[in-house]
Structure 1
């Protein structure tokens, strides 16, 4: 991808589907699988973030999550709450990828 293009979680899910190399995936199955991956990666990310937060930050995050926030709002919260948030997110997505693809 060019440097100026944003790599989204949708792109990430598509990459995982491609890397998993499903042989008999219909379009409907693809759509459902992508939704499942996105839900699972978000849950995985949130569980990892929570382990890095103070008790007060966890309460704040729970209040945010109760409002059905956008991905950007969650990302902004994580960025403001964690040191080296970009590295943390990259490492967490890499860990999810390794687990999803059965590499660890």
Structure 2
């Protein structure tokens, strides 16, 4: 895979109590910084699933498309160093390259 191949990332997230202890203004600032970085790096949201009413383990599951591995690496640095996301969110991510489903199960 070269560095310009689009990457699909699936994430699972559960908000920690520390996030809810932020004021509404601080939560808004956190989310605005997060969104600005996602937009700047070219992330396209494929799907976002709100599981807060149906799943005790995860609050959100999302599928994202990233323009390159380099963009995803920059994102992961931002999450860790700038947002300090592990302070506010329990999360898990998986990523790979898109594959067509058209041929699946076809004889």
| TM-score, normalised relative to structure 1 | 0.36
Q: TM-score, normalised by structure 2?
A: 0.35
Q: Which has the higher contact order (CA 8 A, sep 6+)?
A: 2
Structure with greater proportional strand content: 2
Which one has the bigger helix percentage? 1
